[in-house]
Structure 1
């Protein structure tokens, strides 16, 4: 995925500690551990720019949920508010391991924080999984925070979290801020939280421009006129904004996280992939809510690619013509799922491509599996045919976290035990409040 270096049909990659030192054919290196990648595609790990990792505890519950149903059950006093600190730890450990198993080496964890102990539990879960992540510290999920009249902002504990856990940017976990934005809080709260994120040197992520909130709010225009847009802002969804607002975002360098499967399913609106590209932007990809979909990026790449192709093709069909060459290419989508995502999270100097000098975050995909063999186009194989079962190995910062199809350095029986205990507790606590509609 490094355009300057190009792709190799066959090559060696030398890693020292956590850093890629060299990639070339027939490297002459002695006194090394040899990792045999014969008949495998070696590529950068996927970068998921928007995921609510803790929702792994209530996985599969939302297969038939619309967006309002999801919000009622998860936020606003729903499942999220019942989490104990120990549940937060179990949830993020499980959710991060799911991501790693599927070849996602980096993600942004968009959180709701109920106490300092909850924050510490979530962070510890990510740390123990061994994933690279932006921990986006968020406001409580209680209803009083999620209202356009709310001037509340995230807890002052965010300063402790920054000092205690994210004092350096040269570590696997870095700092982000998950703010409600102008469509879920008072404008003054949005401004204060964006400024707080910049004070903390943190990526600032917010949900904007989707569902019935999007068309009339002109949230991006308001941010643009206030001089607040910039490369450190990450907009989630952005399905139903004004067409000119996509250009405002693109010109500012701000990113959009598109979560195509969930957006089409839950009622956010049609994925904005093409609209952002047409205005000079580069979209990124996220899984979003694992209540309702699997936690892998192979699925999201397919949804993104085919949704945008369907949009373009339908316009052509409406003109009584037939599509010729397809517009969006598989190579572009693979870029969105790797380097573009890394750039959106401020991590492209570290990861996103296999480049000497960058950290060794990479995956190995078996091409001998029946769903991939014989493959003529490696990019097409990854984007259109592969799935998590094909991921043989995953390395993060040069450390193997999955080898020969098995996660390493983790007691999965213990993970299942604590996750199941937390799940049973959550369902019991949720039933006692009769808050939701499940």
Structure 2
């Protein structure tokens, strides 16, 4: 029996048979539909059935979206959800070791299943609040089978669409007997007989033929932390052995040489990039790889990575990407040839990265990422009548350069409204905060950490003690 409270969230409200969203400015992210200044979305149960103007459906549940931008929910292609209760513990980190000291080498080893549950639930609810309707949960702290169960159950309870990529811990003692057999156990327990589940299973594993073979036997996508300058030499061998394919999802891909990108494209490897994480932790060049990927015919998704240093929202991810790309273009010597010249990114291109391209990275482009008839109704409504957004001079500019989570009026996932009038629905906030506080108290005490909310830097525990 789980020792955590699964009644913190109750969002399993009935999905209306027919829903009609009327009068919104539509950013469909579907080239065949385009953008509509004032349009409608017809939804039958969980599925979008029509997008256009002057739609009608007698008896439908009507959502008046006047002064709203309607767009697909955003996709976070890479998030370590278990770390939710460690938010902003390490805001001034300067390297990857700083991140690891504040997670893997300190608190991670003391996580109980209930702490995994709380971390995943908080992360998922925060994502929903920020208009992220789908994420890939990179769960590299599955210390026991019970920990893995807790991670999955938190995602199921939250109401988010997700891939749970189950991975091994990086440091400390853990139950190696359940690895990698845990993948099949999770598949049979939660997913094999539940094809309509919003949550599906993947694995998180660094290059290892036997692990990747087991994932493929089970038909599961394989998520890998991939740092291009450090790991590029492995690519050619992996490719020659037939170990790379469209079921691979590579995070970061920083400083990857052209030859490496050519291999990824040829093998069909899916990619996501991390504008804030790569810069914040000084990963290799510190520059996210979106331009390099696109130059080689790959359109990567965007990802937040973690919340231990910064916020959870995709709005800021897009803005950081926009300005980093501008700065890099300005710093490029004028002698560079046109083939390798950096190009600027438009607001529309970045929103595509945060929606359609993120869905493709997850392998779910047939289900989500655009307002397309036949796809699931995963969408958000942004209130452009709010003081910080009105008047709406350009819809893409409003979303990418100005919108905040507070402007998100409505979030719908699979036809179910999970945020309405600016509030995430069905959350017992008092019980959630109590669970978070209890978890942090346990983790801090177990690790011997004295919290300091004004600290300039998170000290490794050996120094903190």
Asked if residue 197 in structure 1 is aligned to residue 215 in structure 2, the reply is yes
| Matched residue, 1:178 | 204
> Is the alpha carbon distance of 1:231 and 1:169 closer, same or farther for their aligned partners in structure 2, counting shifts above 3 Å?
farther
Equivalent-residue separation in structure 2 for 1:332 and 1:153 (angstroms): 43
The structure 2 residue matched to 1:289, chosen from 296, 301, 306, is: 306
User: Normalising by the residue count of structure 1, what TM-score does the alignment of the two structures yield?
Assistant: 0.90
| Matched residue, 1:417 | 434
| Matched residue, 2:16 | none
Equivalent-residue separation in structure 2 for 1:308 and 1:261 (angstroms): 12
Instruction: Find runs of 4+ consecutive structure 1 residues off by over 4 angstroms.
Output: 316-319, 432-438
Equivalent-residue separation in structure 2 for 1:217 and 1:246 (angstroms): 9
| Matched residue, 2:252 | 237
| Matched residue, 1:121 | 150
Equivalent-residue separation in structure 1 for 2:302 and 2:239 (angstroms): 23
User: Normalising by the residue count of structure 2, what TM-score does the alignment of the two structures yield?
Assistant: 0.85
Which segments of 5 or more consecutive residues in structure 1 lack a partner in the other structure? 146-150, 183-189
Question: Superposed, which structure 2 residues align to 1:39-438 within 5 Å?
Answer: 39-65=67-93, 66-76=95-105, 78-111=106-139, 112-142=141-171, 154-167=179-192, 168-179=194-205, 181-182=206-207, 190-209=208-227, 214-215=229-230, 217-268=232-283, 269-315=286-332, 327-431=344-448, 435=461, 437=463
Equivalent-residue separation in structure 1 for 2:160 and 2:223 (angstroms): 20
Equivalent-residue separation in structure 2 for 1:130 and 1:196 (angstroms): 29
SS of 1:335 mapped into structure 2: helix
> Is the alpha carbon distance of 1:371 and 1:250 closer, same or farther for their aligned partners in structure 2, counting shifts above 3 Å?
farther
Equivalent-residue separation in structure 2 for 1:59 and 1:72 (angstroms): 14
The structure 2 residue matched to 1:12, chosen from 12, 26, 40, is: 40
Which segments of 5 or more consecutive residues in structure 2 lack a partner in the other structure? 1-28, 451-459
CA contact (8 A) 1:247 1:276 kept: no
| Matched residue, 2:55 | 27
Equivalent-residue separation in structure 2 for 1:108 and 1:325 (angstroms): 29
Query: How far apart are 1:318 and its partner, in Å?
Result: 7.4
Query: How far apart are 1:281 and its partner, in Å?
Result: 1.0
Equivalent-residue separation in structure 2 for 1:263 and 1:104 (angstroms): 20
Query: How far apart are 1:14 and its partner, in Å?
Result: 1.2
